Amino acid sequence: MSTRPNLPPLRLHVPEPKYRPGDEADFGDIAIPAAGATPRPAVDAAPAAFHDLAYGLVRVLDDDGRAIGPWDPKLSPDTLRGILRAMAKTRAFDERMYRAQRQGKTSFYMKCTGEEAIACAQAYALHRDDMCFPSYRQQGLLIARDWPLIDMMNQIYSNKGDRLGGKQLPIMYSTREGSFFSISGNLATQLPQAVGWAMASAIKGDTRIASTWCGEGSTAEGDFHSACTFASVYRAPVILNVVNNQWAISSYSGFAGAEATTFAARAIGYGIAGLRVDGNDALAVYAATEWAAERARTNQGPTLIEFFTYRAEGHSTSDDPSAYRSAQEREKWPLGDPISRLKQHLIGLGEWDEERQAAMDLDVANEVKAAQKESEKNGILGHGMHQPMSTMFYDVFETLPWHLEEQKQDMLAEAKAAGIETS
């Protein structure tokens, strides 16, 4: 250690969120550009032209719910209602599955409350066969694509109907048919995989693109860097979405670098188009995704989109956010709630009203409830064995090698000797 008297001692900066439990949250200092203020570049614009977009915020809906500016995707009222319904259904699904976990029917659940616009509006902007590489908080993709809720619930309950045979933690869905890649517990691994899938699509001269999602916390993983590098180098037809919901469990976004820059701005250094978007504005989400998809589809390369949003609830059923953040943040969040904002917009267009909203809410709640009832007929976690014990050995490899066959036989013999039911 050197302590030269003529030099000040060095100090380590450790980020600290502005508000902790008990604090009065105030987001007044967050710069929120007015709706319609951010320009919309041509889909073939050079990556270097995205500086303002990477530090700005693409917004379409203003405070009164009007759609303004160049990013207005001019969707039909039917499409708007479809997105609204998908968001409402996602929220209802989350509520019910959260409760199911609390009732001990399964081990774990994660909500996406406040972030519904991202997955739901994006599902509408992508083609049904574009491949999605999601994180665990894009259940809205499946719901917006009308994937059967029962199938999702079967997975959550690890029951007899679970296509994944009870092998995966709840919410780690997978469906090839639904173009929804198997979710992994390891953060950010899906990012380079999505780039690889997109490269493969380009190698084969396909027309499908890939899209992938991670939280802002996960951008600190090396996979994010590798994905951006490969996407840029090979101009892969991929959309890299960063869902900046401010929190990674208890760590605020400052620990992923948010104090110094935006996540969209990361794109600039990689030579990738970068957009920063109001993640609670379904129209802006749709428009940015449609733009990025067209860019990818026309061989103009990848786009990195940061969705600025707020994780309105706990990280998961294992988390209590009151232990690390101000309880009021959710109410004070300046970008509001995505469902209320789209609802207000539709009402303003004369295409919706409170009664229809109430009826829709009831309808999706009933749909979710009915699906739950149906799914629970296949069993819930912990109530008996839903898969024959031997199935745990299958799908490690395409065929069962001798050592797994032997372990399987040993297990069955031991269970039999102990009088345990094996299937």
Q: Helix, strand or coil for residue 332? A: helix
Interface of this chain with other proteins, residues 12 to 31, rule: CB under 8 A: none
Binding status of residue 187 toward ligand TPP by CB under 6 A: yes
Q: Is 295 a binder of ligand TPP (CB under 6 A)?
A: no
Write down the least CB distance from residue 170 to ligand TPP, Å: 14
User: What is d(CA 74, CA 385) in angstroms, rounded to the nearest whole number?
Assistant: 51
119 vs 153 by CB, closer to ligand TPP:
119
Rounded CA separation 241/88 (Å)? 22
Q: Is residue 90 at the binding interface for ligand TPP, with CB under 6 A as the rule?
A: no
**Closer by beta carbon to ligand TPP, 28 or else 185:** 185
Three-state secondary structure call for residue 250: coil
Closest CA relative to residue 91, chosen from 117, 70, 113: 113
320 binds ligand TPP (CB under 6 A): no
Q: Which does 32 bind (CB under 5 to 8 A by kind): ligand TPP, other proteins, none?
A: none
Cβ at position 108, least distance to ligand TPP in Å: 11
Euclidean distance between CA atoms 105 and 372, whole angstroms: 11
* Locus of tokens 């129209």: 283
Q: Are 337 and 35 in contact (CB under 8 A)?
A: no
Tell me if 242 sits within 8 A of 306, measured CB to CB.
yes
Q: Check if the beta carbon of residue 75 is closer than 8 Å to that of residue 283.
A: yes
Rounded Cα distance, 296 and 72, in Å: 20
Going from the C-alpha of 4 to that of each of 1, 10, 11, 12, the distances in angstroms are: 10, 11, 15, 18
d(CA 35, CA 84): 20
**Which residue among 72, 130, 216, 329 contacts ligand TPP (CB under 6 A)?**
216
Length of the chain in terms of residues written: 423
* Shortest Å distance, C-beta 212 to other proteins: 9
185 lies in the binding site for ligand TPP (CB under 6 A): yes
Q: Which residue's C-beta sits nearest to ligand TPP?
A: 215
* Nearer to other proteins among residue 88 and residue 296 (C-beta): 296
What does 201 bind: other proteins, ligand TPP, none (CB cut-off 5 to 8 Å by kind)?
other proteins
Give the number of residues in contact with ligand TPP, rule: CB under 6 A.
16
Residue 311 found at the interface with ligand TPP (CB under 6 A): yes
* Amino acid letter for position 327: A
Handedness of CA 335, 301, 38, 57 (dihedral sign): positive
Pick from 30, 34, 46, 233: which binds other proteins (CB under 8 A)? 233
Compose the 247-266 pattern: x for residues touching ligand TPP by CB under 6 A, - for all others.
xxx-----------------
Query: Based on the number of CB atoms within 10 Å of its own CB, is 240 exposed (0-12), middle (13-18) or buried (19 or more)?
Result: buried
Tell the smallest beta-carbon distance from residue 104 to ligand TPP (Å): 23
Q: Which is nearer to other proteins, 45 or 172 (CB)?
A: 172
Residue 282: enclosing H or E segment and its boundaries? helix 282-297
Binding site for other proteins (CB under 8 A): 131, 133, 163-165, 167-168, 172, 174-176, 181-182, 184-186, 189, 191-204, 210, 222-223, 225-227, 229-230, 233, 395-398, 401-403
Binding site for ligand TPP (CB under 6 A): 137, 185-187, 214-218, 243, 245, 247-249, 311, 315
